[in-house]
Amino acid sequence: MADAALVTEDNLAALGNTLFISRLSATYTEGERVIQEAVARDCWEDIGILATTKATKHRPATFYKAYEGEVALYDKT
């Protein structure tokens, strides 16, 4: 699991074939492409409620969903 700041050309070169999970920064057009793909396919994995704070009438808990996609950056997928 990695912060989005890991996704730079130099860092990806240093990682080689090491796989990781990260949110892709909105500055990459590949991120927008995968978001559009996720919405079009409507095939989400339910993660659920992650907060430890109890929901209230005026502040319901957030329910998270995820979509796994593959991007190509700097000539690598």
pTM of the model: 0.68
Mean pLDDT of 7-18: 92
Each residue's pLDDT tens digit, 18-74? 988 888 887 889 989 998 999 999 999 999 999 888 899 999 999 999 999 889 988
Q: Give the residue, 60 or 77, on which the prediction is more confident.
A: 60
Helix (H, G, I), strand (E, B) or coil at 3: coil
Rounded Cα gap, residues 12 and 29, in angstroms: 17
How far are the Cα atoms of 21, 26, 74 from residue 7, in angstroms, in the given order?
A: 10, 12, 10
Cβ atoms of 65 and 43 closer than 8 Å: no
